[in-house]
Amino acid sequence: QAKAKQGCTWYLYNERVNRSAGSLADLEDELRRALRRDDLELHYQPRLCIETGRIVGMEALVRWPHAERGLLAPDEFIPMAEESGLIVPLGYWVIARALRDLQSLRESGVGELHMAVNLSFRQFQDSQLLATLERLIAERGVDPHWLEFELTETAVMRRSDQVRGTMNALAALGVRFSLDDFGTGFSSFVHLSRLPISLLKIDKSFVDQMAARPQNGRLVRAMIGLAHDLGLEVVAEGVEGAAQLGQLRRFGADQVQGYLISKPLPLAELRPLLDRGHRLEMRG
């Protein structure tokens, strides 16, 4: 298995695509066309505040309903979009749609909700990123305070002045940043404290292993403690069981996201959950 530098997903992906229908170039063309025709979708996964049991936000996750291959998950086309640069227009499409849906939720009176959108490092290489984001936010008339961008450690660790500059400018508008998949990369808390990051998302792999051995649990508890000392809120990702939720609550995590609460859903299916003012009873 070829495992070139930062190319691992790419090769795996490439092979899979070659085995199935057309070539990768075809898929790229198809994605370009899908974008033009507005043929992508966003699903939203709620985030629950542990203390109140209420939904306080959601994460937008892109899906591609493909004519022959069915609903494609991001892992099946985001790596290609990043390689080809299509992630730039795709990213703007995602943000525009997420802002539109957030606005529509707020207009229908569904409380105060944060909207989190994933940003790839590659999107920062677009010199128009800041200006375009400012325009999209202004066009929608959404209070930037409700918008949050999720960045992975690899993106943040590049520590380029451009990334920091753009992040600071957006943070000044009120936009929040979270560090996604925390623990799977190589970031250090030192770098974290130099960037305008407000939340830490503990990766699912830690949540999964938490109950297996006491030291795994202690590791998660320590991560939460450190994050809090730095003034960061903690979101645990990939929470599937009630026992995990109980443990996270005892460790002091602030929010949970995962199948236990809900899978990512189309907006129409998420609405009833929000309307009910969904409140999860917690034990343990």
- By the criterion CB under 5 A, which residues form the site for Mg ion? 118, 150, 180-181, 237
The stretch among 5-13, 71-79, 153-161, 267-275 that binds ligand C2E (CB under 6 A) is: 71-79
In single-letter form, the type of residue at position 26 comes to D
Q: Is there binding between residue 88 and ligand C2E (CB under 6 A)? A: no
Per CB under 6 A, does 74 bind ligand C2E? yes
Contact 182, 153 (CB under 8 A): yes
Angle in degrees, CA 262, 97, 82, rounded to 5: 90
- Closest CB to ligand C2E among 14 and 178? 178
Q: Which is nearer to ligand C2E, 30 or 237 (CB)?
A: 237
78 near ligand C2E (CB under 6 A): yes
| Angle formed at CA 126 by CA 39 and CA 189, multiple of 5 degrees | 105
CB of 108 to ligand C2E, least distance (A): 23
Contact range with ligand C2E by CB under 6 A, out of 6-14, 74-82, 139-147, 216-224: 74-82
In the list 258, 267, 270, 274, the residue contacting ligand C2E (rule: CB under 6 A) is 258
CB 198 within 8 A of CB 230: no
* Binding site partner of 238, from ligand C2E, Mg ion, none, Cβ cut-off 5-8 A by kind: ligand C2E
Question: Is 62 an interacting residue with respect to ligand C2E (CB under 6 A)?
Answer: yes
Residue closer to ligand C2E (CB basis): 37 or 109 = 37
How would you label 32-55 residue by residue, b for 16+ Cβ within 10 Å and e otherwise? eebbeeeebebbbbbbbbbeeebb
179 in contact with ligand C2E (CB under 6 A): no
Q: Distance between CA atoms of 118 and 101, rounded to whole angstroms?
A: 16
Strand duo 199-202 + 233-237: pairing: parallel
- Min dist. Cβ of residue 203 to ligand C2E (A): 7
Backbone dihedral angles phi then psi of residue 259, each to the nearest 5 degrees? -60, -25
- Contacts of 208 by beta carbon, 8 Å cutoff, 6+ apart: 238
- Give the 3-state secondary structure percentages of the chain, helix then strand then coil, rounded to 5: 50, 20, 30
Q: Which is nearer to ligand C2E, 92 or 251 (CB)?
A: 92
The verdict on 210 binding ligand C2E (CB under 6 A) reads no
Binding site for ligand C2E (CB under 6 A): 45, 61-62, 73-75, 78, 91, 94, 118, 120, 150, 180-181, 238-240, 257-259, 264
